[in-house]
Amino acid sequence: EDVNTHHDMTDKSAEENIFSIKPETLKDLLIKKHDKFLENYRKELTGIKEKKGREFVLKKIVEILPDKTDLLEYWSKNLEENLNKINDDALAQEIREKIIEYRKEKQDAEIEFSTKSGELDEIEKEINKDRVENSEEWLARKIESHEKSLNFWKNYKTEGEKKAEEKKKKEMEKKAAEDVKKKEMEKKAEEIKKKEMEKKAAEEKRVKHKKAKKEKIGNK
């Protein structure tokens, strides 16, 4: 699908009932809409970047495989040429097995080269198509646009939300004032209690002193 054929549309039922929707609900719908588009566009942009990464890897593989097949061919031929010079049967058998191994590796490398070359051709076609359609730049612009819209709606305050925040603020201010008043009362009560204890201690000291004085006079 051509990414340039994307159209930013809200849910049809939501559009039909747009004037009957509460502002808070409409805000949530718009946030969900922009979130969904962002998710889809980011996936597509990631897909394009992954294609480019895969193209790079395939180019390296396709570049290396011919050297690998040439090297395996050279090794197997070299062993074949030297096989007749070997008099040791066990060693000769070992060399034959190695030749078979090299030929199998070469065959596998040729098959891999053919497969990877085909895959590379397909990916290059897709990348060229994306490039012609300006898909990467288009997606980047759409992502930026939806990010801005999403940021706006997430920070936007409806009248209901403003009133709720104002109410919450007043409640917090009221609670803070009550807490201050409570602390002041507790402090005052603590001071009264302290004064009463000091008064009581002074009275006990006075009585004790008076009693001691009386006992002293009695002893005379």
- For 86-111, write each residue's pLDDT tens digit: 888 888 899 899 999 999 999 999 99
- For residue 17, what pLDDT is reported? 58
Average pLDDT for residues 54-73, to the nearest whole number? 92
Mind listing the pLDDT tens digit for each residue in 18-38? 556 677 778 788 888 888 888
The residue written with tokens 């970047």 in the block is 49
Q: To the nearest whole number, what is the mean pLDDT of the chain?
A: 83
Percent of the chain with pLDDT over 90: 24
On whether the CB atoms of residues 76 and 102 are closer than 8 A, the answer is yes
Measure the CA–CA gap between 218 and 220, rounded to whole angstroms: 5
Question: Backbone dihedral region of 122: left (phi > 0), alpha (psi from -120 to 50 degrees) or beta?
Answer: alpha
Average pLDDT for residues 69-79, to the nearest whole number? 92
- For residue 220, what pLDDT is reported? 59
Sheet strands (E) in the chain: none
**Residue 88: φ, ψ to 5°:** -80, 115
Task: State whether residue 85 is helix, strand or coil.
Answer: coil
Measure the CA–CA gap between 158 and 155, rounded to whole angstroms: 10
Average pLDDT for residues 30-56, to the nearest whole number? 87
Instruction: Indicate if the pLDDT at residue 62 is higher than 90.
Output: yes
* Diameter over CA atoms, the chain: 144
- For residue 58, what pLDDT is reported? 92
Measure the CA–CA gap between 135 and 143, rounded to whole angstroms: 12
Mind listing the pLDDT tens digit for each residue in 132-187? 767 778 888 888 888 888 888 888 887 777 888 888 889 998 898 888 899 989 99
> What number of residues does the chain have?
220
Q: b/e per residue, 6-43, with b = 16+ CB within 10 A? A: eeeeeeeeeeeeeeeeeeeebbebbbebbeebbebbee
pTM of the model: 0.49
Who's near 51: CB < 8 A, 6+ residues apart? 123, 126, 127, 130
